[in-house]
Amino acid sequence: SQKIEQNSEALNIQEGKTATLTCNYTNYSPAYLQWYRQDPGRGPVFLLLIRENEKEKRKERLKVTFDTTLKQSLFHITASQPADSATYLCALDGDSNSGYALNFGKGTSLLVTP
Could you list the residues that contact other proteins (CB under 8 A)? 32, 34, 36, 41-49, 51, 89, 98-107
Give the whole-angstrom CA distance, residue 57 versus residue 34: 11
d(CA 14, CA 37): 19
Enter the DSSP assignment of 18. P
| Closest CB to other proteins among residues 80, 108 | 108
* Min dist. Cβ of residue 14 to other proteins (A): 27
What is the smallest separation between the CB atom of 86 and other proteins, expressed in angstroms? 14
- The backbone torsions φ and ψ at residue 10, rounded to the nearest 5 degrees and listed phi first, read -70, 150
How far apart CA 60 and CA 25 sit, in angstroms, is 26
Closest to other proteins by CB, 14 vs 26, is: 26
Quick one: 17 or 75, whose CB is closer to other proteins?
75
